[in-house]
Amino acid sequence: MLGALIIVFREAIEAGIIVGIVMAVTQGVPGSRLMAGVGIVAGVVGAGLVAAFAGALASALNGVGQEMFNAAILSLAVCMLAWHNIWMASHGRELAADARKLGQEVRSGARSLFALAIVVAVAVMREGSEIALFLYGLVAAGGTTASDLLVGSALGLAAGVALSAVTYFGLATIPPRRLFAVTTGLITFLAAGLAAQAANFLQQAGLAPVMSDTAWDTSAILSDTSLVGRVLHTLIGYSDQPSVLQVVVYAITLAVIFALTKAFAPRVVTRPPQTPLTQNS
């Protein structure tokens, strides 16, 4: 039972954290709960389909269908996260500063919610399909231990949901004026980590046969399959044996999103009166 719990929980960590972050980011935005719900439902349905057609997917595109599919949906999530950050940079401050503007911005706000719904759906679908296959295997294998394993799986899933709640309420304790900066940073690192995963799938498909050497091996210090490693893997893209290409893609994604977020931020901002800073050097 414990084994099943751990396997399911491990798969649920990434989706759980991403859902928690997205819900915190959109806290208080009209329609955000609906957005998260639609994203989760779409993700679960997608996971079922991916699991059901795993065989067909694996043999598609000369046998690299699974890799291409993963790389494509991860890239989609990266772009949606980047787009959200840019949108928030160009509108978020206005929204916070002037609630009367909210009415006219709701329509483009809805588009930002749509982008995040896609992110939620992708996260749930990717991890969910592996859980679905694992559960299918348990049921198919039958035997006396199957029900025990299913209980373990249910507990693992519940732990994933709990992690989502911890992430959400943890972020909710951050004062609203700080939250924007924190979530912008979180989303940027999250996106960079997903981009590195996408790069890995392209390498696995043989489409990026460059820089495939291992950049470093820190598996002895912090394995990315451990709980802490897995959480860091989601939050900042930590990997204990990344390829050089993954590191390069990670760095480029970080730089591009930061640069675009800055470029699209309003040039004229109302600054609070400058308070002298204590200098200690």
The binding site for other proteins (CB under 8 A) comprises 3, 7, 51, 54-55, 58-59, 61-64, 66-68, 71-72, 75-76, 79-80, 83, 86-87, 90-91, 108, 111, 114-115, 129-130, 133-134, 136-137, 140-141, 200, 202-207, 209, 212-214, 219, 224-225, 240-241, 243, 264
d(CA 24, CA 31): 13
Taking the complex as a whole, the smallest distance from the CB of residue 264 to other proteins amounts, in Å, to 6
Taking the complex as a whole, the smallest distance from the CB of residue 161 to other proteins amounts, in Å, to 21
Taking the complex as a whole, the smallest distance from the CB of residue 231 to other proteins amounts, in Å, to 17
Nearer to other proteins, 70 or 167 (CB): 70
Whether 112 and 92 have beta carbons less than 8 Å apart is answered as no
Angle at 182 between CA 79 and CA 110, to 5 degrees: 50
Angle at 19 between CA 172 and CA 152, to 5 degrees: 110
Nearer to other proteins, 12 or 171 (CB): 12
Distances (CA, A) of 111 to 117, 119, 242: 10, 13, 34
DSSP letter (8 states) at residue 99: G
Q: Is 10 left (phi over 0), alpha (psi -120 to 50) or beta?
A: alpha
Nearer to other proteins, 71 or 249 (CB): 71
Taking the complex as a whole, the smallest distance from the CB of residue 235 to other proteins amounts, in Å, to 19
Taking the complex as a whole, the smallest distance from the CB of residue 66 to other proteins amounts, in Å, to 6
